[in-house]
Structure formats: structure tokens, C-alpha cells
Structure 1
Amino acid sequence: MRLYHFTTANNLEQILENGCINQSDEGVVWLTKNKELEAQEWAGGINPTIRISVSLLNISYFGRNAPPQKIVQGAVDWYTTAQAIPRKLWVDVESLKNGHWCIYKGLSYKNRKK
């Protein structure tokens, strides 16, 4: 399953330093099935220009009794997980430039060796 985490360039620096996407103040990582920025109504004044693609095919990371996501009440495309998402589950880190998504500073993990 491919999901997307949207954030700001400022927050990305902390994410890269930590090596994982950590939980928000609500204690969850927010993910969506919708990769289009226009669909991200949650931003509320924040300008998310970074999109991290996440592959949750390896759900064993989350444990058998803890599904990798739960649907957010009333939101079709939104998911949350209480687990931090490590870099090994990232597919791409992209930045929005001139209305187009581009790989951010070479951070594509599609062809990495496992």
C-alpha cells in the first residue's frame, strides 16, 4: 500500500535527522492515499511543500495486533499510525516546485538494496 505524508521543508530537516517520520502532537503519524496537495485540507495555513511516499507492504514492522493504519473518523483517504515510520519504508521524498513534484535532493529509495 502506498501512502503519503505531507510536511514542510522546515519539518523535513528534523525528519531526516531522526531517520523517521515521528508522531504529531496527537500521538500519530498522518498519512493519506491521495497524493494531490489540493486534497490536503488539514493544512490550515501551513504550506506543506514536501511529500514523503511510504510503502506499508512490510506491515510486520507494526506488529500483528497493531494494524499499520486505522481510518480517521469520517475521512475516506486519511490514515494514522501510532508508530514512527522509519526511512526503510520510504519510497521517495519530493518537493513541490513550480507546481510539479520533484525528487528532493536525490532522496529516492526505489532502487536501494535491501
Structure 2
Amino acid sequence: MDLKDQLKNLFPDHKEEVSSEPENTSDIWIQDDPIICKYEKRKGKPITILEGYTGATEDFKLLAKEIKTTLSVGGSFKDDKIIIQGDYRDKIMQILKDKGFSVKRVGG
């Protein structure tokens, strides 16, 4: 009897939840204009900023989450910008190009 069976015995009325996260992110709207990929330093620490996405905000948030998990880095989504901790411009640009986005590198 594994842990799942034990939990079913303890909570017989509980139904298993299906993951709400999409397995395939090809549902994200691909735009014609390039996404701007910038490098800045804030408080002496490098960050990469992605901006210029004209699709739905939820799609951009999903894209931010996917980039952060793929690169195993921290970051946030604020004011229609994805902010990634560290200088990952080349890797992020490659991820976006593989998804079908056009990307423009700005600064350095």
C-alpha cells in the first residue's frame, strides 16, 4: 500500500485534481513585432528585462514562468515587463526564437 492508497483511505471523498498548468505553451500568441531584450544593472546587480509583448497579460505571465523555470533563476512580472535576475540575454533570446518569437537585443 503506497502513500496514495493511504490518503484515499483517510479521505475517501477527495477527488484528485488535474494540473491546471498547460503542458504545451504553444497557445501563447506570437506577435509580429519583436520582443525587446535589455540588460540593466539595478543596485549593482545584473538583470535582464523583456518588454514589448502586445498579447494577453496572462500569456506573458506564462512565458515569464516558463523562462524562469527553464533557466532556474528568479524573476518577476511587473508593468508588462518580465524581469529576470542575472544576464541571460543569449539564453532567453534562444528560448524565444525556438518558440517562434522575434527578439531584438538592446544595449551591449
Query: TM-score scaled to structure 2, two decimals?
Result: 0.27
Q: When you count helix as a share of all residues, which structure comes out higher?
A: 2
Q: When you count strand as a share of all residues, which structure comes out higher?
A: 1
Query: TM-score scaled to structure 1, two decimals?
Result: 0.26
Q: Computing the radius of gyration over CA atoms, which structure comes out larger, 1 or 2?
A: 2
